[in-house]
Structure 1
Amino acid sequence: MKTKRYQWMFKVAVMTLAFLLLFGLLAPNFVKELVAKEIDHLHIQVESKEGNQAVYDPVLPDYTIKYGKDFAEHGGFHNEVWHYRANLKGDDGLDYGVQWTVYRVANGDHQGVGWENAQIYTAQVVVSTSKHSWSQQRIARGGIGQAGVMMYPFRLWIDDWSWVSNNNFAIASQLNVKTDDFQVTLQNAAYGPFVLNGDKGYEKTHDLMSTASYSFSAPFIKAKGSLILNGKAVKVSGIAWLDKEWGNHLVANRSLRWDTFNLHLSDGRVLSLTQYHNPQNIRYISGSLSSKNGSTIKIKDSEVRIYPIEKQQLLNGRLLPLRWVIELPNYQISLITQSLNKELWLPFWIPSWEGPIEVTGSHKGVGFMQLTGY
């Protein structure tokens, strides 16, 4: 009886969200804020239910990642994310950042069909320059054709937003996003190998607790295409980065905070670092330094220092650390990061600051920073 009540509550919430999201495209900002609150409420309900009842597959260190298979959905795990970021230069001379993120969260450990499918998808897209940004979020239920993942070949979609490929590797591929206010069409091609994060794809997120995920990246991507912003088209090209991660602790713990940096350095290498903060403010750093010839160095927690040097207040009143120092003395790397647009707080399903950054110091470069849990 309790399970049926939760299912009924969830269906009502999904239908309410669908109406609010549709109406929110035309409504004032207070309606969009209401949608964000409803999504947050839905997230709490899912956590409450599944924390007591659901049993998911364990994340174990002996799993062998296969790229052509693991771009697919892993429904036996609680959550999953496909995360794409691109640093682009427009033919108008401006720098553009593009973020496309899709989360899958299971509303239970059952594998039903249609409305009994346990999977929830949410997608968010952000386009930004140094002075402006355009963003939108959508949420949908898996199993009814509105959102999902297909293989042979790869296709990830929610409504008419899609990431499509002619193979199972999600690269080469095309990203297609269209809203009332903006449009993104980007072709992507790899110029280097995939990278297994952590220990052969098994990535710990805490030094003491047994929390971990499976994770791999495609950090060597060339992107080109077009953006339509406020009715004006601009051609763009640049470099991009794609992460794929799945497990059981990616979005469930509201007390967990992390700082993530994905950087393309001027010498051709890519640096990925994530600093996790637990409720006791004990920090754990995971990262890698990779070259396009296939070599990857796992960065140990003791080898890196990451600390903020400047906090800035956003228009919404939040005070965030948007300028950082990253030091890896063993690799002669000492960097200072700088955000290109500080007003990129994203009040999405998982609220965070995320946007393009540039780096100076021992190396120049570009990339993205994400601050979650602030």
Structure 2
Amino acid sequence: MTSKSNLCFLLLPVLLAFARASELCDAGQNTQRLQVDLGLEQCPDHGLIYAASKLHADREGVPSGRLELEEEKREGDAACAAQSSALLQHSHGKADQGAEAESLYGESLYGTAGVPLCKDAADFLPEREMWAWCDFYGPGATMPDETVCNAQEGCNGGQGWCHCEGATGCQGAGGIWNAQTCAMEVDMFSPEQRDMLREADLHGSCLDLEANGMKAKDLVSWPAQKCCHSFPATVCNKELEAQTPCLENEDFEHNKSMWAWCDTYIAAPSQEVCNANGCQGDQWHCHCETQAGCLGVGGRWEEYQCWQDLQWMSAEVHEGIKKAKSQHTCDDVEVWHSPLHYQVDWLGSSCCSTGKSVCKAWSISAASTD
């Protein structure tokens, strides 16, 4: 026992030294990793070198000049320490700013994703439905008979089918209304797309920004059109004002009917009733050219007005019209890889009081001048 105790006593310092060396090695590796993470790999740990050198010099009688050299290294350490501190503070500052930005967007109306889409958060309409449908086949839904379906607001149907345009009619007919809201839409953006739009919001422009193979302007276009109260202004162009296809905006006739039709499917009038009201038809169909005739046979008169078509005009078209007006010509103005007049001539001829779009008006003016 005595010999074993003596052996353990002799080995104990060696074991402690080995453990200490291992600890220092791990610490050195951690220090090196930290230096790399902070961009400090060019700053070796001269403080440890100086301490070891001084201890060695004290024991071995190394000249003071050597210690002066080590002192210079120590001063270099101070510079590296200052650099490290600055980098750490900068890193924490960026983290704090990032957290603050997340909090800012998270507390906005942009939904849980906190993605800027409109020119500012107050213009975002989180509960606006981008698209929706009435489900009569899913769990909990029932397919109504023809009478029940047609009795609901905005619904029409026949044997074995029913179509509803709104939530009230859908639910009244026994269906389940499924809607994709604006908040749900922006929540689906990828992390890269969210970062891209935050950068656009910071700089006030989407120019040249791209993520996941999609340009920022293309990503924003459709959701902003449905979800931003101030559209066509968006995060990509916060100052863009709404335009019309007319030379003067006041020439646009918002409530003018572009086309109309009579829905007689539900009424299903007989040939005699159809013809008696100035409409044309047979036992299978009835066509009415006037609202009076349509209502006379029990049909539903539908109109599509100019304002309804204008609301589908993309931000890119608004931007193109603004550019054309500023240079007094549509020449060299393109939208979606085609001349601007392709986007405005038809709507302008139908809805401008002059019967001409901004491009047509200028082309006529230029021709008369020549």
User: TM-score, normalized by length of structure 2?
Assistant: 0.20
Higher relative contact order (CA 8 A, sep 6+): 1
| More helix as a share of residues | 2
Give the TM-score taking structure 1 as reference length.
0.20
